[in-house]
Structure 1
Amino acid sequence: MTMSVRSIHTFPERRAAAHDHDSAEVALAGLVGDRPKKAAVSVVGHDSPHTRANLVLDAPTAEVEALSGHVLRVGDVVLAVESTGNACAGLYAAVGHPGTVRVGDAVEVVEDAS
């Protein structure tokens, strides 16, 4: 299945509403303007309610979670994704190559991270 970015969010302040974006710069520490969290970037599927994820993909969360352990290219950005390891849905990602991500960008599996 082909996945793409459905929406992009930053959360500059704890417990505050999300800021929605058509595109965002992604640095090694995460999305520019986002507050530091457990992971540089968080990724979830479109069916995960009340999410605080940065990238929402146009696939169910179960399909997104199946990408755990892989390296993904999203726009100019390369992300190494892994399970959150807790009750949070989706994936956490480390940034391997910074760049720009846009709504509509395809998500491509680059390699298996293991």
Structure 2
Amino acid sequence: MSMRVAHLAIYPEKGQPGVDLSTATVEADGLTGDRRKKAAIHLVAIADTDVDDPPRANIVVDPGGHDLESLVGSTLLVGSARLVVTQRPNNCPGVYADVTEPGHVSVGDDLETVDDA
């Protein structure tokens, strides 16, 4: 089963609606244009999104049967960017990730776990 990017968004201003994207540039400290927050990237599974109260995640994924929380400590290749999943947020679904290699990501891109050994 594979994971795939279902939605991309940035949140330039605190408390304001997000901006949906089809493609984004991933910089060392997050998506270009995004307000800097607790972590560079917030990933959430599409099943954990709520139309009435959506999480403010940068990357929404169709996890293809994977549990995102089980990926903490893993390296992911998302588009041409490389991320390390660092932790689960305290008050919202999904996981946080740091950027180890900037790149580009688009809706429809696969997420692959990478063995750095």
TM > 0.5 fold call: yes
Q: Percent identity?
A: 42
Q: Which structure 1 residue ranges, 4+ long, deviate > 6 Å from structure 2?
A: none
- Relative to the length of structure 2, the TM-score reads 0.89
One-letter amino acid of the structure 1 residue matched with residue 4 of structure 2: S
Per-residue CA distance 1:51-81 (angstroms, 9 max, x = gap): 1000000137971222111000000000000
Q: Which residue of 2 aligns with 1:17?
A: 17
Map 1:1-114 → 2, pairs under 5 A: 1-48=1-48, 49=50, 50-59=54-63, 63-111=67-115
**Whole-angstrom CA distance in 2 between matches of 1:81 and 1:23:** 21
SS in 2 for 1:66: helix
Per-residue CA distance 1:19-68 (angstroms, 9 max, x = gap): 00000001001000000000001000002221100000013797122211
**Whole-angstrom CA distance in 2 between matches of 1:75 and 1:38:** 23
Report the RMSD for the aligned CA atoms in angstroms: 1.9
**Whole-angstrom CA distance in 1 between matches of 2:98 and 2:65:** 19
Unaligned regions of 5+ residues in structure 2, if any? none
Unaligned regions of 5+ residues in structure 1, if any? none
- Relative to the length of structure 1, the TM-score reads 0.91
